Amino acid sequence: MADEQKPKTKSFVARKDRYWKNQHAELFSSIAIVKKNLLSYVQAHVNEEASAQLKQVGFPVSDADGMAIFEAPSYAMTAACFQDEEYQKIVVPDEENFLDRGRCFALAADLVPVLDDAT
């Protein structure tokens, strides 16, 4: 799921990133179905300097300012997290602190490692 909201100021981006990384991540990770269904939850925070470098060499760069990657044994188990009553009651209202859900989109994708040398 990627957030396409483009904040107006760098200070807002910094506050949003801190909130998402610290408070929201802890809240989301505390939900029972998330603990049960997800193998991993990764946040990708935009790096403005790297984005500018990519633009400079001709790459189109997304206006999204963040992306969350959820991995589960099945897509149905991921979807169940977002349909869960506890998620809807606790997590969705918290997302209003940093996210415009109307400008988000989901991409169901299979990760295919091609080059994986973490050394």
Rounded CA separation 26/33 (Å)? 14
Q: What pLDDT does 1 receive?
A: 46
Q: What pLDDT does 20 receive?
A: 92
Domain count for the chain, please give it: 1
60: containing domain? 2-98
Q: What pLDDT does 24 receive?
A: 95
49 in any annotated domain: yes
Q: Give residue 84's identity as a one-letter amino acid code.
A: D
Give 58's pLDDT tier (boundaries 50, 70, 90): very high
Q: Kindly report the average pLDDT of the chain as a whole number.
A: 88
**Residue 90 · residue 96 · CB < 8 Å:** no
Residues 45-54 have a mean pLDDT of: 93
52 in any annotated domain: yes
110 in any annotated domain: no
48 in any annotated domain: yes
Give 59's pLDDT tier (boundaries 50, 70, 90): very high
Q: What pLDDT does 105 receive?
A: 85
119 in any annotated domain: no
